[in-house]
Structure 1
Amino acid sequence: MNTEIENIFNNYPEIVKSKLIKLRELIYTVAQEQNLGAVEESLKWGEPSYNTINGSPIRVGFKGSSCYLFFHCQSKLVSTFRELYSHTLTFEGNRAIVLNSEKPLPEHPVKECIKLALTYHKVKRLPLLGASL
């Protein structure tokens, strides 16, 4: 983690900091498990952003006591996530997964959503982005 991004994480309120760090770790874990190559970590709109060569960027951030995974709003990502995981995850429009920072992270569906985002340009033409119900 570069110093600029580390400073961003260090300035987050404690209530969300550990969950956002866990989301960052999940992004790197999924990229490694899927052999997606290097993860580019940068700042976009003042928030940590992550992408792979065939992926669509994922930003992590917070509002109040909720943690967010933000996705490109003109992609099919969030609409697909909603179809697959509406019983488990909460969404904001067509751009974000909203996670309560005080509740346990629903790791399996979040990892699957991260995988679809990090492989988006390979799967965007497949039904449900290649995921199965």
Structure 2
Amino acid sequence: MPDPAPPFQNAQVAAAFAGFPTGTRAGLLVLRDMIFATADETPLVGRIEETLKWGQPAYLTPDSKSGTTIRLGVPKTGGFALYVHCQTTLVSEHRSLFPTDFTYGGNRALLFDEKQVLPKAPLRLFIRNALTYHLKGSQK
């Protein structure tokens, strides 16, 4: 079993998580754990920086620069979401592999309901692809 996610790296990120509704927070913490666990298991990713971008928890690969930023948040429609930059091909590629496993928010988000069981293997693949997005075409 992988190690649990590390403690929050700064008070602002901890406060952002504390501000989420309870059910939403639980789902977002599962996604946070998956980001850190996937980074630990993926060669060339390196250290994950946890910060805020647009008021949302964000995860970057500052040393390796291997990935695109992953953000976690609450969409206007409710539930919770994992966001990536809208100009990446991550969501469209994932949608072609898993057309019915996820609810997609345009070309930038995977959307989740608080009560749904997260499809862990396909979700970990998405996170891995985001963390290694800038390595496309080179060795992953």
TM-score, normalised by the number of residues in structure 1: 0.89
Matching of residue 38 in structure 1 with residue 50 in structure 2: no
Structure 1 residue 87 displacement after superposition: 2.1
Q: Which runs of structure 1 show a deviation greater than 3 angstroms over 4 or more consecutive aligned residues? A: none
RMSD: 1.5
Mapped to 1, the partners of 2:19 and 2:89 lie a distance apart of 32
Higher helix share: 1
The aligned amino acid for 1:57 is T
Structure 1 residue 65 displacement after superposition: 3.6
Structure 1 residue 51 displacement after superposition: 1.6
The aligned amino acid for 1:75 is T
**Equivalent residue, structure 2, for 1:62:** 74
Structure 1 residue 101 displacement after superposition: 1.3
Match for residue 135 of structure 2 among 118, 122, 128: 122
Measured against aligned partners, the alpha-carbon deviations of 1:97-127 in whole angstroms (never above 9, x if no partner) come to: 001111111111111000000000012x48x
Percent identity over the alignment is 37
* Preserved contact between residue 15 and residue 65 of structure 1 (Cα < 8 Å): no
- The alignment partner of 1:104 has SS state of coil
Question: 1:1-133 alignment to 2 at 5 Å?
Answer: 1=8, 2-35=10-43, 36-52=45-61, 53-63=65-75, 64-123=77-136, 125=137
The aligned amino acid for 1:97 is L
Measured against aligned partners, the alpha-carbon deviations of 1:65-121 in whole angstroms (never above 9, x if no partner) come to: 411010100111111111111121110111100011111111111110000000000
- The alignment partner of 1:74 has SS state of coil
Measured against aligned partners, the alpha-carbon deviations of 1:32-80 in whole angstroms (never above 9, x if no partner) come to: 0113210011101100000212100000001354110101001111111
- The alignment partner of 1:121 has SS state of helix
TM-score, normalised by the number of residues in structure 2: 0.85
Q: Which runs of 5+ in 1 are unaligned?
A: none
- The alignment partner of 1:32 has SS state of helix
Q: Which runs of 5+ in 2 are unaligned?
A: 1-7
Mapped to 2, the partners of 1:60 and 1:106 lie a distance apart of 17
Mapped to 2, the partners of 1:85 and 1:51 lie a distance apart of 25
